Amino acid sequence: MPQTLNFPTPPPFIIIHGGAWDIPSPLLDLSVVGVEIAAREGLTILLNGGTALDAVEVSVQSMESDPVFDAGYGSALTRSGAVEMDAIICSGVSENFGAVACLTKCKSAVKVARKVMEDSEHTMFVGEGADDFGKLKCPEDVVGGEELISEYAREHWERFKDYKGPVNELFNKGEEQKHPGDTVGAVAVDKFGNFASATSTGGIPFCEGGRVGDSPLPGCGADADNEVGACSTTGHGESLSRVKASRRVMEKMENGATPGDAAEAVLERMLKVTGGRGGIIVAKANGGGVGFSFSTVKMPWAVGCEEWGDKIESGILPNGKK
Ligand code: ASP
């Protein structure tokens, strides 16, 4: 049974996730601190009258630069030991999105994704095309690739590099949640009533080079529509893509579900249909508040809103505990 929570919070607000997996004890506090900092940075933008798009971008960038998470610096490594990042950013006003997949040469995949949305004719760039676009639009962020490999990601890869079995077995059975899958995401609504969402990831560890999960795919890794709300997902990417997780969450909300219950229903169905697990953060339009659900053991989350002032609610389990 997924673990679920709803906050009937009025906008503006922001909700953050830091990946759904069985986070080991040494990383618990760091994960909560990381999502709290991200929530606070995004909330500050919202409280100063900024847009939901700016808030989710800044929050996700904050976690991309934190090696605790599987995104940007600290990304999980592919079987060949490389970093390949995917990200998406979605605007609820325009129902536009920008995405990149298999980006290797820029430190913030979400920043490049936003440039794709706002500064290109297209919605997604992949591989070399993504790197070339990133170099052109974010020259200040260009890296060689090695700089994105954290000590933890390197050690983790060394420990498992001889594993020859299917990566999906690692991710969805027994060992699954011991493996980092701590993708990051943010969902926000601003004082103008505009929704936005963003997701950024280094993918699942040991995946084949060139593999693309759910994260950069609209309707899978994220979605946003001012009439319905917005969401961001994490977990086993092939499963989230198969069930079009984000789109289904939006449909459930259109049919009256609360944000947390919509996420829970989709995760339950995903487990039944694919055997995969994950987590989803959601905001609902027309005063429907914000919520989340996860079917893994843990998921770091944080919520901040204007009504609570400086206070950020956070945790690893729905009751705020670790
Ligand atoms: N969904 C991501 C992917 O499959 C992984 C994660 O959320 O941790 O690439």
Q: How would you write the chain as a 3-class SS string?
A: CCEEEEECCCCCEEEEECCCCCCCHHHHHHHHHHHHHHHHHHHHHHHCCCCHHHHHHHHHHHHHCCCCCCCCCCCCECCCCCECEEEEEEECCCCCEEEEEEECCECCHHHHHHHHHHHCCCCEEEHHHHHHHHHHHCHHHECCCHHHCCHHHHHHHHHHCCCCCCHHHHHHCCCHHHCCCCCEEEEEECCCCCEEEEEEECCCCCCCCCCCCCCCCECCCEEEECCCEEEEEEECHHHHHHCCHHHHHHHHHHCCCCHHHHHHHHHHHHHHHHCCCEEEEEEECCCCEEEEEECCCCCCEEEEEHHHCCCEEEECCCCCCC
Ligand 1 geometric centre to CA of 215 (Å) = 6
Question: Closest Cα to atom 9, ligand 1: which residue?
Answer: 203
Task: Convert the pLDDT of each residue in 247-260 to its tens digit.
Answer: 999 999 999 999 99
Q: Is 183 in the pocket of ligand 1 (CB under 6 A)?
A: yes
CB neighbour list of residue 79: distance below 8 Å, 6 or more residues apart:
161, 167, 206, 207, 208, 209
pLDDT exceeds cutoff 50 at 73: yes
For ligand 1, whether the C-beta of 201 sits within 6 Å is yes
Which pLDDT score, from 0 to 100, does residue 172 have? 60
Domain membership flag for residue 266: yes
Structural domain of residue 90, as residue ranges?
3-315
Supply the residue whose CA is at minimum distance from atom 4 of ligand 1.
237
322 is a domain residue? no
Q: Are 33 and 18 in contact (CB under 8 A)?
A: no
Which range (28-37, 171-180, 237-246) has the least confidence?
A: 171-180
Q: Say if ligand 1 is within 6 A of residue 214 CB.
A: yes
Cα of 214 from ligand 1 centre, angstroms: 7
Q: Give the per-residue pLDDT at 181.
A: 61
Q: Tell me if 203 CB under 6 Å of ligand 1.
A: yes
CB 34, CB 182: distance < 8 Å: no
77 phi/psi in degrees, rounded to 5: -100, 150
171: domain CATH number is 3.60.20.30
pLDDT of residue 182: 85
pLDDT for 276 beyond 60: yes
How many whole angstroms separate alpha carbon 102 and alpha carbon 125? 9
Q: Which mutation among 234, 241, 270, 295 tests ligand 1's pocket best, with the greatest number of atoms within 8 A of CB?
A: 234
Which comes out higher in pLDDT, residue 105 or 168?
105
Cα-to-chain-centroid distance, residue 134:
20
Instruction: Say how far apart CA 193 and CA 195 lie, in whole Å.
Output: 7
Known binding-site residues for substrate equal 211-214, 234-237
Query: Mean pLDDT across the stretch 1-19?
Result: 93
Question: Known catalytic residues?
Answer: 183
In a domain, residue 109? The reply is: yes
Mean pLDDT confidence for 265-273: 97
The pair of structure tokens assigned to 161 is 């590099």
320 part of a folded domain:
no
- Is 61 domain-assigned? yes
Backbone angles phi, psi at 5, to 5 degrees: -145, 140
User: Is the model's pLDDT at 12 over the cut of 80?
Assistant: yes
235 lines ligand 1 (CB under 6 A): yes
At 175 the pLDDT is 47
**Quick one: pLDDT at residue 174?**
47
pLDDT over 90 (residue 49): yes
pLDDT band, very low/low/confident/very high, at 320 (cuts 50, 70, 90): low
Report the number of distinct structural domains present in the chain: 1
Query: How sure is the predictor about 177, in pLDDT bands with cuts at 50, 70 and 90?
Result: very low
Backbone φ and ψ for 92, nearest 5 degrees, come out as -75, -20
Distance 48 CA to ligand 1 centre (A): 32
Residue 85, C-beta contacts closer than 8 angstroms, at least 6 positions apart: 71, 72, 75, 100, 102, 103, 104, 109, 148, 200, 201, 202, 203
